[in-house]
């Protein structure tokens, strides 16, 4: 090493970049600009939805969030029914999808033979590639008639007679309704949750599981005592990613939810969600009308809910990676 090199060492960052290569600098700023552009676009969408929906918030105040009335003739609008339908269908979809996703991930990581894991995993992931409108058409023309004829009457005659929870399973067996929308959503979000669970289950260090097996633990005991505690934060993050997907679904829900602007105590009753209401009513709204402002205000509420859920899921996933 020469004296000049020793006295003036090349910075490590500059050395890695090949002495300040112009192409690397351009690429760095292009990537940084792309990231900032996405952030700016997200902020612009939120601001635009809020400004466009501001007349509705000014006209109805905080009561807009809780009012169940939606009367375009009298120009009285409320978000209560659609917010209720959005939250109930999404939460119920999570309740239905999580056990299936966990069972699939558990089978693929612990029970399935090696030669079968890839085909089954690929088949589950392919469910995510099916367009939502196909799910809606399949649900309306296939699942709804089967459910109304064979499943719903049995549930009404059995669970509908129970105290306390019986009201949730009463009503005419039309097939469409809150429960059917949640069922279709559960199928749609299943591959997202299952893929996340499978990936994080595979990240558990083998030595942890081998130690538990060496102590005489069964496969389920290893899963319950080692795998789940090690991956619980990431699992919750994956579930919340599925919840965010369920909150914003439009066409599949519109086909099967019944599209009625009322809150029913029964899960078999019709309802709507924010996304389905916007899809149905947006084409009939006049520019500058209070109805259009109310629909855009609903869009702002949905965007805010989805953003909070997805941001929280990303935070949980990152905290697990840092740990």
Which pLDDT score, from 0 to 100, does residue 29 have? 92
Chain segment 240-264, per-residue pLDDT in tens = 888 888 888 888 999 999 888 888 8
Q: What is the pTM of this model?
A: 0.84
Which pLDDT score, from 0 to 100, does residue 5 have? 47
Residue of 125, 128, 109, 129 lying closest to 117 (CA atoms): 109
Whether 60 is in a domain gets the answer no
Chain segment 19-52, per-residue pLDDT in tens = 458 888 899 899 999 989 998 998 898 899 999 9
Which pLDDT score, from 0 to 100, does residue 1 have? 46
Whether 122 is in a domain gets the answer yes
Which pLDDT score, from 0 to 100, does residue 33 have? 92
Do 68 and 80 form a contact (C-beta atoms < 8 A)? yes
Give the CATH number for residue 239: 1.10.3720.10
Whether 95 is in a domain gets the answer yes
Domain that holds residue 194: 80-279+306-322
Whether 133 is in a domain gets the answer yes
Residuewise pLDDT in 10s, the chain (323 residues)? 444 444 455 455 444 544 458 888 899 899 999 989 998 998 898 899 999 999 999 988 888 888 888 888 888 898 899 999 999 999 999 999 999 999 999 998 888 888 888 888 888 888 888 888 999 999 999 999 999 999 999 999 888 888 888 888 988 888 899 999 999 999 999 998 998 899 889 888 889 888 988 888 888 999 988 999 888 888 888 888 888 888 888 889 999 998 888 888 899 999 999 999 998 888 788 877 888 999 999 999 998 888 888 777 777 666 655 55
Which pLDDT score, from 0 to 100, does residue 71 have? 86
Whether 69 is in a domain gets the answer no
Q: Which two tokens stand for residue 37?
A: 């552009």
Which pLDDT score, from 0 to 100, does residue 20 have? 55
Whether 71 is in a domain gets the answer no
Which pLDDT score, from 0 to 100, does residue 320 have? 58
Q: Would you list the DSSP string of 180-242?
A: HHHHHHHHHHHHHHHHHHHHHHHTS-HHHHHHHHHTT--HHHHIIIIIHHHHHHHHHHHHHHH
Which pLDDT score, from 0 to 100, does residue 323 have? 58
Whether 84 is in a domain gets the answer yes
Number of domains in the chain: 1
Residue of 200, 213, 212, 188 lying closest to 106 (CA atoms): 200
Whether 204 is in a domain gets the answer yes
């Amino acid at each position: 090493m020469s004296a000049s090199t020793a006295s003036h060492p090349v910075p490590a960052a500059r050395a890695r970049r090949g002495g300040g290569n112009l192409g690397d600098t351009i690429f760095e700023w292009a990537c940084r600009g792309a990231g900032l552009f996405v952030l700016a676009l997200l902020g612009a969408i939120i601001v635009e939805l809020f400004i466009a929906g501001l007349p509705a918030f000014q006209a109805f105040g905080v009561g807009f969030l809780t009012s169940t009335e939606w009367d375009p003739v009298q120009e009285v609008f409320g978000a209560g029914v659609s917010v209720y339908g959005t939250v109930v269908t999404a939460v119920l979809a999570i309740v239905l999808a999580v056990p299936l996703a966990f069972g699939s991930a558990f089978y693929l990581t612990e029970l399935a033979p090696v030669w079968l894991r890839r085909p089954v995993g690929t088949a589950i992931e392919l469910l995510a590639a099916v367009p939502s409108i196909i799910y809606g058409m399949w649900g309306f023309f296939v699942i709804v008639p089967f459910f109304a004829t064979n499943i719903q009457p049995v549930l009404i005659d059995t669970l509908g007679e129970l105290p306390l929870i019986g009201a949730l399973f009463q009503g005419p067996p039309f097939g469409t309704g809150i429960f059917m929308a949640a069922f279709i959503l559960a199928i749609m979000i299943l591959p997202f949750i299952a893929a996340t669970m499978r990936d994080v289950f595979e990240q558990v260090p083998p030595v942890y599981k081998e130690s538990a097996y060496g102590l005489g633990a069964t496969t389920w005991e290893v899963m319950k005592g080692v795998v789940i505690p090690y991956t619980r934060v990431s699992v919750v993050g994956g579930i919340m990613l599925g919840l965010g997907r369920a909150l914003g679904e439009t066409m599949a829900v519109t086909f099967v939810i019944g599209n009625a602007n009322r809150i029913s105590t029964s899960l078999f009753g019709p309802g709507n969600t924010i996304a389905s209401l916007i899809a149905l009513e947006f084409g009939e709204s006049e520019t500058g009308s209070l109805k259009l402002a109310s629909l855009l205000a609903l869009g702002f509420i949905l965007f805010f809910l989805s953003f909070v859920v997805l941001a929280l899921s990303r935070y949980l996933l990152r905290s697990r990676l840092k740990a």
